[in-house]
Amino acid sequence: MLFRNFWILGVIVGLINSYIIRSRILSIVRQNPELKQEGEQLTKGYFFALTLPWLILGILQLAGGFSDFSYMFSRDLNNIYVLLSRGFIIFCLLLYLYWMVFRNGARSLIKFKLIRGLFSENERGLKFVALVGTTASIISFVMMK
Give CA angle at 28 (25, 33), nearest 5°: 110
Secondary structure letter of residue 8 according to DSSP: H
Model confidence at 1, in pLDDT bands (50, 70, 90)? low
The answer to whether 82 touches 76, Cβ cutoff 8 Å, is: yes
Per-residue confidence (pLDDT) for residue 62, from 0 to 100 = 93
Model confidence at 68, in pLDDT bands (50, 70, 90)? confident
Model confidence at 145, in pLDDT bands (50, 70, 90)? low
Q: Residue 105: inside a domain, yes or no?
A: yes
Q: Lowest-pLDDT range, 2-11, 37-46, 78-87, 124-133?
A: 2-11
Q: Residue 86: inside a domain, yes or no?
A: yes
Q: Provide the domain count of the chain.
A: 1
Per-residue confidence (pLDDT) for residue 20, from 0 to 100 = 95
Print the domain residue range for 97: 6-143
Q: Name the residue type at position 78.
A: N
Per-residue confidence (pLDDT) for residue 118, from 0 to 100 = 78
The torsion of the CA quartet 46, 51, 52, 55, rounded to 10 degrees, works out to 180
Sign of CA dihedral 52, 20, 110, 42: positive
Q: Lowest-pLDDT range, 39-43, 71-75, 88-92, 123-127?
A: 71-75
Per-residue confidence (pLDDT) for residue 2, from 0 to 100 = 62
- Reduce the DSSP state of residue 144 to 3 states and report it: coil
Model confidence at 74, in pLDDT bands (50, 70, 90)? confident
Upper half-sphere CA count for residue 70 (Cβ side, 13 Å): 4
Q: Residue 46: inside a domain, yes or no?
A: yes
Q: Residue 95: inside a domain, yes or no?
A: yes
Q: Residue 1: inside a domain, yes or no?
A: no
The answer to whether 10 touches 75, Cβ cutoff 8 Å, is: no
pTM: 0.86
Per-residue confidence (pLDDT) for residue 81, from 0 to 100 = 94
